[in-house]
């Protein structure tokens, strides 16, 4: 019984982590069809924001939940204005440009901070015990955060004017422009939002993983797999793909080893995309939430 409870909790926390690392990419890819290969580096920059801020004596929660998304969001808007906006509709070019950005960020951060970090950010909560087993309290916090992010995005997209304009632009940018909406501004804000969510992910994951210039590489593959498996509906797709792949990963890890768990995740994604080439939601929901 305790084992079942802990397994379920572990699965839920794996799912939550997938949601957190993918949602920023999902927003940018889903709404703008821009494949952002610098996604992992946005996460890394979020991690470094927390690292620098806590070293400067700023409260860790402020650094994680406010500064990380803010700083990376601003970087995202700058990237969009300087680079990405000149390349809309040219998928391969944006892919190359964002790969270049990714190398640029890794290089810059390595130059400034070196390729190792001296201090590890301590995980805030202790362990939660269930019978003979325990799970880290921080994992449960991440589950809570993933739900908050998804709910927050849903409210933003569904009930605000910005959400309406964004959904309209996403479905038909020319028509939105013909109704007076400036698509360029919507894209800029959307890219900033996606970057901010990636920054938040980096902040949230900083206590769990070593903050290193190359840490983005650990996330980007999983994030892409989740977003592509999810399909065109940003929130529902990302959430359902995370749920499926996270559960497969946890169960396979429990039955075998963590490495085979990752393999199972990949296999599940390949089978899924073979059966549903447009992802879980592509066939049924179209381009929406």
Partner 1 sequence: MLEVRDLKANYGQIPILDGISMTIAEGNTVGVLGHNGMGKTTLLKTIMGLVRATAGHVRYLGQDITDKPVHERNQMGIGYVPQGRAIFPSLSVRDNLRMGCAVAPVEEKAALEQALATFPRLAPLYDRLGGTLSGGEQQLLALARCLCGMPKLILLDEPTEGVQPSIIEELIEIMRNLKQSRALTVILVEQNLDFIAALSNEVHVIQKGRLVRQVEPAHLSDPAMVDEFIGTFV
Among 5, 127, 156, 179, binds partner 1 (CB under 8 A): 179
**Does 172 help bind partner 1 (rule: CB under 8 A)?**
yes
Among 20, 22, 102, 167, binds partner 1 (CB under 8 A): 167
**Does 156 help bind partner 1 (rule: CB under 8 A)?**
no
**Does 181 help bind partner 1 (rule: CB under 8 A)?**
yes
**Does 183 help bind partner 1 (rule: CB under 8 A)?**
yes
**Does 26 help bind partner 1 (rule: CB under 8 A)?**
no
- Report the DSSP beta bridge partners of residue 134: 129
**Does 171 help bind partner 1 (rule: CB under 8 A)?**
yes
Between the alpha carbon of residue 15 and those of residues 127, 144, 282, the distances in Å are 19, 12, 20
Residue 71 token pair: 């700083």
Say how far apart CA 200 and CA 77 lie, in whole Å. 15
Q: Which is closer to partner 1, CB of 262 or CB of 288?
A: 288
Say how far apart CA 19 and CA 13 lie, in whole Å. 10
| Cβ 286 to partner 1 shortest distance, Å | 5
Which string of b and e fits 134-156 if b means at least 16 CB within 10 Å?
ebbebbbbbbebbeebbeebbee
- Contact predicate 268/244, CB 8 Å: yes
Q: Which is closer to partner 1, CB of 213 or CB of 282?
A: 282
**Does 189 help bind partner 1 (rule: CB under 8 A)?**
no
- Contact predicate 190/105, CB 8 Å: no
| Cβ 234 to partner 1 shortest distance, Å | 11
**Does 168 help bind partner 1 (rule: CB under 8 A)?**
yes
Q: Which is closer to partner 1, CB of 52 or CB of 177?
A: 177
- Contact predicate 280/268, CB 8 Å: no
**Does 267 help bind partner 1 (rule: CB under 8 A)?**
no
**Does 27 help bind partner 1 (rule: CB under 8 A)?**
no
Q: Which is closer to partner 1, CB of 183 or CB of 207?
A: 183
**Does 89 help bind partner 1 (rule: CB under 8 A)?**
no
Say how far apart CA 209 and CA 5 lie, in whole Å. 25
Between CA 216 and CA 221, with CA 220 as vertex, the angle to 5 degrees is 135
Q: Which is closer to partner 1, CB of 247 or CB of 281?
A: 281
Indicate the SS3 state at residue 136: strand
Minimal CA–CA distance to 106: which of 164, 59, 44, 58? 44
Q: Which is closer to partner 1, CB of 181 or CB of 276?
A: 181
Q: Which is closer to partner 1, CB of 258 or CB of 286?
A: 286
Contacts with partner 1 by CB under 8 A lie at 161, 164-165, 167-168, 171-172, 174-183, 285-288
């Amino acid at each position: 019984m305790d084992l079942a409870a802990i397994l379920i909790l572990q699965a839920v926390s794996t799912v939550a982590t997938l949601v957190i690392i993918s949602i920023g990419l999902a927003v940018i890819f889903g709404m703008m069809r821009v494949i952002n290969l610098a996604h992992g580096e946005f996460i890394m920059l979020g991690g470094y924001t927390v690292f620098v801020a806590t070293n400067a004596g700023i409260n860790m929660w402020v650094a994680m939940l406010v500064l990380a998304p803010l700083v990376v969001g601003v970087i995202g808007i700058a990237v969009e204005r300087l680079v990405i906006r000149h390349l809309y509709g040219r998928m391969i070019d944006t892919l190359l440009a964002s790969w270049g950005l990714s190398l640029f960020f890794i290089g810059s951060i390595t130059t400034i901070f070196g390729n190792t970090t001296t201090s590890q950010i301590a995980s805030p909560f202790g362990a939660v015990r269930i019978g003979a087993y325990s799970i880290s309290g921080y994992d449960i916090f991440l589950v809570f955060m993933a739900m908050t992010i998804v709910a927050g995005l849903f409210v933003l997209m569904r009930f605000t004017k910005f959400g309406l304009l964004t959904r309209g632009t996403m479905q038909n940018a020319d028509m939105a422009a013909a109704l007076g909406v400036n698509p360029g501004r919507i894209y800029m804000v959307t890219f900033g939002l996606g970057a901010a969510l990636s920054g938040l992910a980096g902040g949230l994951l900083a206590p769990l993983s070593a903050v290193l210039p190359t840490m983005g590489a650990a996330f980007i593959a999983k994030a892409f797999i989740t977003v592509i498996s999810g399909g065109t509906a940003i929130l529902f797709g990302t959430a359902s793909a995370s749920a499926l792949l996270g559960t497969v990963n946890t169960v396979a890890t429990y039955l075998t080893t963590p490495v085979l768990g990752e393999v199972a995740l990949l296999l599940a994604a390949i089978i899924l995309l073979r059966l549903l080439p447009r992802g879980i939601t592509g066939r049924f929901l179209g381009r929406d939430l």
